[in-house]
Each structure stands twice: as C-alpha cells, then as structure tokens.
Structure 1
Amino acid sequence: MTDTPRRYMSGFGNEHVTEAVAGALPQGRNSPQRAPLDLYPELLSGTAFTAPRAENRRCWLYRARPSVVAGAYRPLEQPLLCTGAREGVAGTAPEPLRWNPFPIPTEPTDFVEGLRTVVVNGDPEAQTGMAAHVFVANRSMERRAFINADGEMLVLPQQGRLVVTTEMGVLDVKPGEFVLLPRGIAFKVALPDGASRGYVCENYGAMFRLPELGPIGSNGLANARDFQAPVAAYETNAGEYELVKKYGGRLWIAPARQTPFNVVAWHGNLAPYKYDTAHFMTIGSISFDHPDPSIFTVLTAPSDTPGTANCDFVIFPPRWMVAEDTFRPPWYHRNLMSEFMGLVYGQYDAKPEGFKPGGASLHNCMVPHGPDAEAFERATNAPLAPHKLDNTLAFMFESRYRFLPTEFALGCGTLDTQYADCWQDLQDRFNNKKA
C-alpha cells in the first residue's frame, strides 16, 4: 500500500474526503466525463437512493479498475457459516447456554475459513435480524478478499491484532477495539501477531448508528469523533485475487485479474470504522439502584418498532461502582430482548469464574439469568465502598428476535453442559421473622 501522511480520519458518519495521490479526486463533479488520472468513478450506496438525507450513506470511489471486472462465481463450501433463523436448531429448550473458549485450529485457517456461526435469527432476504459468529484464524488472507452482500460486520478481536485492508484504506485493530465493515465492501484480514480469535456480529437490518442520548444530553457513551475511518491507500503489487462473496446466505468464489484494493481516492459518509472502547464514556448511578444496561450501548441498529432494536451492541468496560445500599452486579432478570454475550478480557462481575475470555453465553427472550451463587453471596455481604471494576471488557449483542443456536454451537465440544448448576446453590432466604 502507498504511504500516506495520515492514518485515520475522525467522525462516525462524517463526509470524509481523502486521496492517496494528489489530484485524484475530481472537483465539483462526482462523475466527470473523464476522471482525474484516468481513474474509474464508482458509487457504493449503503442505503436506498431515496433514504432521508440524514440517514443516506454512500461513497464515491475512484479506482484503477472498476469492481465489475471479475470472473464467474462458483459455490464455495463453508459449512460452519450459517445465515438466518432457517439455519438454526429449532426446538431448543428455553434454557441459558454458555460456551467455553473456542479453540484455534492447528491447520492453516484464514479469517473466512475460521468463521463459525454460534447463533442466528432473522432473514437477510427480509433485511431483519443478525447472526453472532466467532472467528478462529492462524493465517493471513494474502490474495483473497471477502465481500458480504448480506449484512454489515462488526468484528471484535479477542486475541491477536488484526490488520484489516479495505477498499477505502487500512485499519489496525487490537483487542479492546472493534472494526465496523459496511455491507458490500471488499476487505481482507492479516494477522501480524499470529493466531487470532474474536467475535463477529453480522447485521442484516438497518445500519448501525449511534444511539440517541435523550435525557443524558449532548455528551456521553460513544462520541462520534472517536470513530476512525481509514485514509485512501491502494495496492500496487500486481497479480490475481480470489473474491469470496457472501450472497443469499452462501459463499461464492470468483477469480479476479487484479486487486480489489485499487481505490486511489474516495469521498463520502459510508466508510469502515474502528473504535477503541477505552474512549467510551460510561454513565451510572451515583445514588442508589441500577440504571438499565442500555446505558452501555455503543451502536444500535433500529427496527420498525421505536426503541426495540434489531440489534444493540453493548459493552461492559472498566467503570466505578459507587451506589449506596445497592446490589452491585447485574440483578436477576428476564428480558424481552435476547442476549448473546462474549468476554474479551478480564472477569465478568456476575460470573467471576465460569465465564472465560473467548467464550460466549446466550440468554434468550424471557430466559431467567443473573449472578451465579458465588457472585450473589459476595456482593450481598461486601462493604459498599466505592469500587472500580478494572481490566475487564464484556460485550452483548442484544436483539428483539430470539436467537437459535447452530448445530456447530451445540456439538462443537465447548458447550458448558453444567452452566445452569451455577445457580443451584442459591438458597431460599425468606425470613418471615423479620417481617
């Protein structure tokens, strides 16, 4: 890739303007009769042309060769990658599920080969729902690019740094950060630190956006300026590529005579972004009781029901706990929304021992869950001094649609069949003598 003086541009949803070669962007026209430097203009639309101006997302790319130049596609088998509720296991009991860390394979495996779908819902053809995957990889994608036409992808590395090359430029993403990749863009993943593992949310619905802040005001949670888009960069090394496209829930592969990463300049508000969760401004109680966990929402993909998301992306980062006369871990609850959780590093305060980095859990609609017996006893009897939860990062993909686990998830060997036992030591504590 060419050297550029800036690595990133700031601002989620901003109108970004960047060129790797001076003069590559046309001035005053998006598609002149002859573009500067004899580049090809190409428009990438992430929303319908007629979407409201505030929600419209598109990007003009100026590239050495347009993306239509590719060979015929043929099917590519990846049996562990599933799409939509039709590929989940129906009739799963209404019980909590938990998985131990997913192992990284010993055979050479790149990001695409290492995707394993854990839970699914919705339907990409109807543009509803999502899938939660893990990825386990030990080999960089070299002359291979991945294009997801079914949905945008939010990728969180849990182990090992990722260098994500996209049509718009390059993003370096370490554990504690995530990258958001729009639907339809080509990207590849390199592993500079060796083997990597992490989580992926594949969103079939409305594009992720920052949540409204309401009574919180104009500051708090994730700030738009902390999202970083790449500057334009392009590959100069010649040679053929493999294009792997996810389309209609299946993978397809085609040869290309040239790199898809040949965009010399671009401008627009449809871009890949990375975000460091250390910049998230947590908000919590400074008196008593808990606000709802929605105060930890980083991004939301709304549905047609106001306030009820197709998918919310929520994190539980380091934060202070100061409330008086308040049970500090999450309370026991049943929820309309379904929750898929993962742990990037550290301990999760409601499950200090059983929930491990690289693992996952599922609590579907109206399935009871909350702190295990050990966490309850410790929190009930702890002196309530100000306390900081440090060196921890858990997250949640929360959806209005019930998640169905996949056959892989139920049979991969990491499913914790004793998970429900963590609540069995909770005793009947009712003491009517205190009444």
Structure 2
Amino acid sequence: MTSETERTRAAEDAAPDEPASLLRQPRAVWAVAFACVIAFMGIGLVDPILKPIADQLGASASQVSLLFTSYMAIMGVAMLITGVVSTRIGAKRTLLLGLVLIIAFAALAGTSDTVGGIVGFRAGWGLGNALFVATALSTIVVSARGSTAQAVILYEAALGLGIAVGPLVGGALGELTWRAPFFGVAALMVVALVATSVLLPTTRPAGRRTSLADPFKALRYPGLLTVAVTALLYNFGFFTLLAFTPFPLNLGAKEVGLIFFGWGVLLAVTSVWVAPVLKRRFGTVATIVGALVLFALDLVMMAVLTESKPALAVGVILAGAFLGVNNTVITEAVMVAAPVDRPVASAAYSFVRFSGGAVAPFLAGKLGEEISVHLPFWVGAAAVSVAAGVMLLGRRFLGLGGRTP
C-alpha cells in the first residue's frame, strides 16, 4: 500500500508548477543546496590547473586527465553503495561522511608531489562526492516544498552554480600555485560541513534497507536503462569537453577559468529558467534530443576549428546552454523512469552515466596526443549523437514521448 508521504508527493508531482514556491524552502534544503554548490565546484575546479600540473610535474595530457578518470570511476562505482549506507545510518550522517571524505582527500591532493598521488587522492574525493551527491539529490527531492520538478530545478541550480564557480576559483587560486585550489575546496567544504550539521535535522535510517543488488535490479526497467545509457554517452562528450579542451586552448589558469566560468553560468541559467519552459513547450524527449543534437553540432564545430582559440572558447561557453537544459530535464526523467525508490533510481542512473565520464578524459588525451588534436572532439560528437538516437529509440518505455502535462 502506498504510504501517506508517497501519496502527498504524487499529488505534488501531478499539480501544476508554482514558480513562486521554488524559493520558499526550509533552511535544511538551503543548507544541503549550499553544500552541493561547493561539492560540484570540485568537477570544474581542476580544469584551469590541468596544464600547469602537467607542466610542473612533467606529465602528459592523458596522465593528467586521470584526475578526472579516477574521480569519476570511483564516484560511479560508489553510487552503488550510497543507498546501502544511507538506509542504515540515515541521510544526514551519510551527507556528513561524504563531506568529511571530500575535505580530507582534497587537502591531501594539495600536498602531493606526483601526478599519481593526486590521481589517487582524487579517487578518494570521488568516494566522498558519491556519498554526498546521491544522498543530497534524494534529500532535496524529499524535503523541498513544491513538486519534484521544482526540487530537481533547485538541485540543478546548485549544480550549475558550483560548476560555474569552480573554474573561476580554480583559475584565480591557480595563478598562485596549482595546489591552492585543492586547499580552497577543503576549506569551503568545512563551511558546508558545519552548515549541514547545524541546519539539517537528524534523519532516521529508512524503514527498508536497500541492498547492493537493488540498483542493478532497477536497470531492468527499460525506461531507466534508456535514460542511463543516454546519459553515459552524453557524459562522454561532456567530459571530453571538460578534460581535453584546456590543452588545445593553451592559455593560463586564469584565462581558462574565465572561459569555463562563462560555460558554467550559461549552464546554471538554462537549467533553472530555460529547461522548464522548453519541457512544457516541447515535451521531455524532444527537449532532451534537441539539446543533445545541438551539443553534438557544437562539438563538431570545435573538432573542425580546434586550432582556433576563439572558436574553442565560444564552443565551450555555448555548450553550457545545451548541457544545462539536458541536465535538468534528464534528471527529472530519472525520477519517474522506474517504479523504484528515488535513491535507488538515482544510484543506478549515476553508476551508468559516470562510466562515460571516467573513460572519456583518458581516451581524449590519448587520441589527442597520438593521433590528432581534432579527433577527441569528433569522438565526443559521435557519442552524443548516439545518445540522441538511444533516447529516440527508447522513448516508448518512458511514457514521455508526447508533451508533458
């Protein structure tokens, strides 16, 4: 029998959106959202310092790209245990554990003198991020006032703001030393840890404990599998852009930070204000496919004009618009893609999609070093194009093929 909480949430999901209610949230929601901003800074923070790290530690582009690969690979695998942990110790303790791990490994990365050491500490950072991010999404969805769609928009706004600020902070601190951004994140995460500890009420473990097998069982639902595979391929293009572009740009940390800051700002703006409008106008599937096609074309432009720094800068910033729209709409689709608990759906989806984020940076670096500087963008464009095809082929499993209510 459906619980009263689930009936209430279902009624909220079915009700028309009330934009004004988006900002009227409990303090606990804002505390988690703030911590999300800092957590997502870690994704773009290392972009401006990739080349300085490579230059100062004598590493190649593919070796330095492992900072992304280890982070995303461990984060993806660790997503499978987030539900197991949170249903046993409660959401708040899981969030705090994740934050403590991020603080510790970010600081350790700043003390390392080898690329291998930084790569290893980034893996530990990814473990902490997995525990925090997966639990944060479900916590915001459950705790926020308004519909699930509005809660997802709030989460994506935090994601976008964090991704936007990350390169800016990384670029500014990276001008001092490549170590400074790592210590900066650790310090900011201490603030997030205190805010979450004080403002988020203690949460009891869930009534039903999830198992390691639950995310894999969830992927048996064709709707969730369709969205997850789409995200895997799309993330391949996303992290090719993120991890490889700083090398052909060949600019200073501050300049790269400013370019990716523009990308992140556009991502945040479109995820909050543009994505809901497009979804209401064209429907979920059409909006996702349209954003993916435009992103693929953007990568094609970057593949053709790789030797033009202005073209690469424009391509990076424009990508923020397509990624912002896609991130919000596809995350909403995950929440209703399978009849399973939302934390389980989130864990299954994140496990699959971060696989693309783990493989792409290293492969892009190798292709760029050994074959052609243009090839990583061509491969990224092909992966994103296939993602659009997967979404179209699997739309019948989503129940979202037409216009949304």
Query: Which structure features the higher share of helix residues?
Result: 2
Check whether TM > 0.5.
no
Max Rg structure: 1
Higher relative contact order (Cα pairs below 8 Å, separated by 6+ residues):
2
Q: What TM-score, normalized by structure 2, do the two folds share?
A: 0.27
